[in-house]
Structure 1
Amino acid sequence: MRTDYLGNPVSPTSDAALAAVDGFIDGFLSYETRAAEVIGAAEAHPDSILLNAYAAVLWLLLEAPEAAERAAPYLARARELARDAHPRERAFVDFVAAWSADDIPGALAIAEVIQKSWPRDLLTLKLRHYHDFNHGDFPAMLRTASAALPAAADVAYLHGMLAFAYEQCHLLDEAETAARRALELKRKEPWAQHALAHVMLTQGRIDEGAAFLEGVRDTWTGLNSFMDTHLWWHLALFYLSQGKADAALAAYDDHCWTQEKDYSQDQVGAVSLLARLEMASVDVGDRWTDVADHLAARADDVVQPFLTLQYLYGLARAGRPQADTLLAAVRRAALEAPAHVRQTWSEVALPAAEGLVAHARGDYPSALRGLRAALPRLSEIGGSHAQRDLFEQLILDALIRADRLSEAQQTLELRRGFDPDGVPLNRTLAAVYDRLGLPGEAAKARARVERRLAALA
């Protein structure tokens, strides 16, 4: 029996096909563009069940309505080959088939079986994490990564997955330990770098976080557009807190919105960063126009609520009519989505969608009603803490614009607990205290801004 480079059993195959299998696994786990070579490899090796199953996976990760259709030929070929394949390979094809049919609970159950029998199958673990993350089941991410640890403690990628799972479960010390272990094993481990950036952002270690990411930027080579743009997105958040608005805007222009402008993750990163820049009083010019030009094709896209909500805000903020079309699609999804996500669409995504459109159109009382109704269960739509913080920032912005200053003051001071010296936060806080007739507190907030900027001068 042959094995992949992680030691998992593979049916008899050629050396070239096995090298392509290994190349996809390692490229995928390292977020490198070479993972895309699996499409050509599947065509070159039509008798390889894994290459065809992996090609189907790559198309499903397109995160677009046509993804299953694009994956179908490769999945069909893999299913034809399954009869004579190794049980692990057959199970993986079943996992991909369930995913393609949008039977995510079924796919997760199959992944659980694979992980118990072959705990070094870290590709399946990573894909399981993708689905758990999209549904906000962060403890499941931690449970499955921890279960693989005895068998795969030598693999940096596993420690990176474990770090992010810990972070999403608010276990920040454990997350940092796991991330640093991953980086000891492999300095170029972008998911571990990303997890450590999350920890530092959450703990208000802003200067340390910026310095850390700047210190590993030399390893950001060969990365796919999501990983490259997302690491720059995190660096831009640190720059914003530091008061380096020009650097944050340059990160957007030179890195975050320069690559795959039709790809879901690049699009939501752009929407999220532009919105944050605006709420930090940065003039973004006509940048919404370019983003909306690429979002227009998403007018019926309800593949994932987390993605849809940000497409919607970008379209509404740019004043595009497709925002109404997409809002109507969300309302349909609230009634027609598969059973396992229907409540998320109806009870979380729909009120959030209505709130986002209201905010973009200047109806702040309605924005508050919608966004606040969704907020307690917002993790169900997926996304990380840092990503979902956009919605909390929009609520804060709506409170201020609706003159609900007492509530805004409460929110700002709570936020100062994890961004104590943040320049945009303290500037906003000073303005709120002025309007509340508390000049002494306003002066303290302005002093924090002045000290912060002076320290970085």
Structure 2
Amino acid sequence: MGVDQHGLRTTAANPAALDHYDRAVDELLHFRAEVVAESDAALAEDPTFPMAVALRGYLGLLTTDFDDAVATRAYLAEYEPGEVLPREQAHLKAVGTLAAGDYHGAGRILADLTIEYPRDALALAVGHQIDFFTGNATSLRDRIGAALTSWHPDDRHYPNVLGMYAFGLEEAGHYDRSEDIGREAVERNHRDVWGIHAVVHTYEMQGRFGEGISYLDARLDDWSTGTFFNVHNWWHYGLYAIEAGDRKRALEIYDTVLHGPFASGVALELLDAAALLWRFELAGDPQPERFTALVDSWQQRAAEPHYAFNDAHAVMAYVGAGRFDLADALIADRVEWLRTDRPGVTNQAMTARVGLPVCQALVAFGRGEYEAVVDLLYPIRGYVNEFGGSHAQRDAVYKTLVEAALRAGRLPLARALVSERLNVRPCSPYNWLKQAELARALGDEAAAVVAGERAAALARAGGSVPVP
């Protein structure tokens, strides 16, 4: 029996096991690869340590990789817990539920656990990631907010909890509060890459890409290396570069980091690579060679139905590479998979409601069937969040709908879609470029010129303020 770094009792067999577990949680909160080694070290000291077992299970399941999930299920099936504390039992139940494919059920167990043990950093971190994978903005905010007053500013991991809260605030639309909390988290701990990420998201959602670039540049050494999250933050930098009209810089980032010589090929990095290239596809700047380089990795990662959000990005890569045969095969496989009901498997509903129509729309877009794209995406636009990701990530879907509406000549719908975007994010050059394209299609050349000039002015200004 022992007490962890946050004052919670555990059934670790010896102090060394608990020490390695505490270090593992610290590494997890900082998104450092060393979490795996520390987790293994804790289990080497005590293979029956319930919290270390749960942590290892979470690590294998949060990759969203099918093979990792299979291996994790096998590992958990062999584990025979002895007498455990109620908190540990809840974690074992949560990780087992997650291993069975029930994201929502696992999230609920961890939420209940957090009510009883608000200082359980592992429950907060894993629950937060589950909320992210299911696109639950309200829970991203409130799961952390419900625990926050139980943490003291002097606590070692208080900044990490603030960073999580900042991201939840951003996804729930509280941008001013998100920026303040995120900046505080980073000021308290400059290596809080999730806090940096939260601030970056806030700038993205407000069209403040110039400030975002400056913020990342000023903290380059804090976020760009040494974690398994640096690739994703570089992806955000690439989005800023695209918004600023600097596509060359975005592709340099792609070739150097997103799918460069040291690319890991894990699903989370492949997502970023495909998502960045898809924005080039939408802009009429196809990247078939770069997309082709992603195909083999995606074939390995998306061979089985496991996470619909991954499927959509695999299809982006297939379509961008001209491999419609692979895209069609993936879609046919998911259609067949949906014929068998799998109670409690969250991905089945994700696939049926969002993943499958998004995949079908991406293929239709690649084939130039823009009416079909609109017919597939417009009805689901209100609940695309259900298949996971952030607002910034899912914007690829909404931009596909905008582009398809314009290309299909569905001008009243395009006008509505562009108007929505402009009024939420008037600082975005992309939104004004679409307004210019729409005005030109409607025969209003003067309005098109004005909108184009506004887009150019915002690109130069970094989107800090809307141009009058």
Same fold judged by TM-score > 0.5? yes
Higher helix fraction: Structure 1 or Structure 2?
A: 1
User: Following the alignment from structure 1 to structure 2, what is the Cα–Cα distance between the partners of residues 417 and 28?
Assistant: 38
Offset of residue 42 of structure 1: 5.1
Instruction: Provide the residue aligned with 1:58 in structure 2.
Output: 59
User: Following the alignment from structure 1 to structure 2, what is the Cα–Cα distance between the partners of residues 431 and 109?
Assistant: 45
2:191 aligned to which of 171, 178, 188: 188
Q: Which one-letter code corresponds to 1:233 in the other structure?
A: W
Q: How do residues 24-103 of structure 1 correspond to structure 2 at under 5 angstroms?
A: 24-38=24-38, 40-41=40-41, 44-45=44-45, 46-76=47-77, 79-80=79-80, 82-103=81-102
Offset of residue 105 of structure 1: 4.1
Offset of residue 440 of structure 1: 0.9
Instruction: Provide the residue aligned with 2:465 in structure 1.
Output: none
Offset of residue 267 of structure 1: 1.0
Is the Cα contact below 8 Å between 1:25 and 1:35 reproduced in 2? yes
Is the Cα contact below 8 Å between 1:210 and 1:235 reproduced in 2? yes
> Once superposed, which parts of structure 1, at least 4 consecutive aligned residues long, lie more than 6 Å away?
none
The one-character-per-residue Cα deviations of 1:268-321 (angstroms, maximum 9, x if unpaired) are 111111011232344535111101221122453321222212212222332222
User: Following the alignment from structure 1 to structure 2, what is the Cα–Cα distance between the partners of residues 255 and 419?
Assistant: 28
Offset of residue 236 of structure 1: 1.1
- The SS at the match of 1:376 is coil
Offset of residue 31 of structure 1: 0.8
* CA separation of 1:302 and 1:38: change in aligned 2, threshold 3 A: farther
The one-character-per-residue Cα deviations of 1:140-173 (angstroms, maximum 9, x if unpaired) are 2322211211212431111111111111111222
Q: How do residues 214-363 of structure 1 correspond to structure 2 at under 5 angstroms?
A: 214-220=217-223, 223-225=226-228, 227-258=229-260, 259-282=262-285, 284=287, 286-320=289-323, 321-336=325-340, 338-340=342-344, 341=346, 342-363=348-369
* CA separation of 1:405 and 1:135: change in aligned 2, threshold 3 A: same
Is the Cα contact below 8 Å between 1:268 and 1:307 reproduced in 2? yes
Offset of residue 427 of structure 1: 3.8
User: Following the alignment from structure 1 to structure 2, what is the Cα–Cα distance between the partners of residues 9 and 170?
Assistant: 37
- State the percentage of identical aligned residues: 28
State how many pairs are aligned. 453
* CA separation of 1:104 and 1:439: change in aligned 2, threshold 3 A: closer
The one-character-per-residue Cα deviations of 1:222-263 (angstroms, maximum 9, x if unpaired) are 5433x1111111111111111111111111111222344421
User: Following the alignment from structure 1 to structure 2, what is the Cα–Cα distance between the partners of residues 99 and 393?
Assistant: 32
Q: Which runs of 5+ in 1 are unaligned?
A: none
Q: Which one-letter code corresponds to 1:266 in the other structure?
A: E
Answering whether residue 403 of structure 2 is matched by residue 397 of structure 1, we say yes
Is the Cα contact below 8 Å between 1:206 and 1:241 reproduced in 2? yes
Answering whether residue 146 of structure 2 is matched by residue 147 of structure 1, we say yes
User: Following the alignment from structure 1 to structure 2, what is the Cα–Cα distance between the partners of residues 90 and 412?
Assistant: 50
* CA separation of 1:435 and 1:117: change in aligned 2, threshold 3 A: closer
Is the Cα contact below 8 Å between 1:55 and 1:74 reproduced in 2? no
User: Following the alignment from structure 2 to structure 1, what is the Cα–Cα distance between the partners of residues 297 and 121?
Assistant: 34
User: Which structure is higher in RCO with an 8 Å CA cutoff and minimum separation 6?
Assistant: 2
Is the Cα contact below 8 Å between 2:288 and 2:321 reproduced in 1? no
Instruction: Provide the residue aligned with 2:466 in structure 1.
Output: none
1:373 aligned to which of 376, 379, 399: 379
User: Following the alignment from structure 1 to structure 2, what is the Cα–Cα distance between the partners of residues 170 and 333?
Assistant: 35
Q: Which one-letter code corresponds to 2:290 in the other structure?
A: R
Offset of residue 424 of structure 1: 4.2
The one-character-per-residue Cα deviations of 1:194-246 (angstroms, maximum 9, x if unpaired) are 11111111112121111112211110255433x11111111111111111111
CA RMSD of aligned residues (A): 2.3
Is the Cα contact below 8 Å between 2:281 and 2:320 reproduced in 1? no
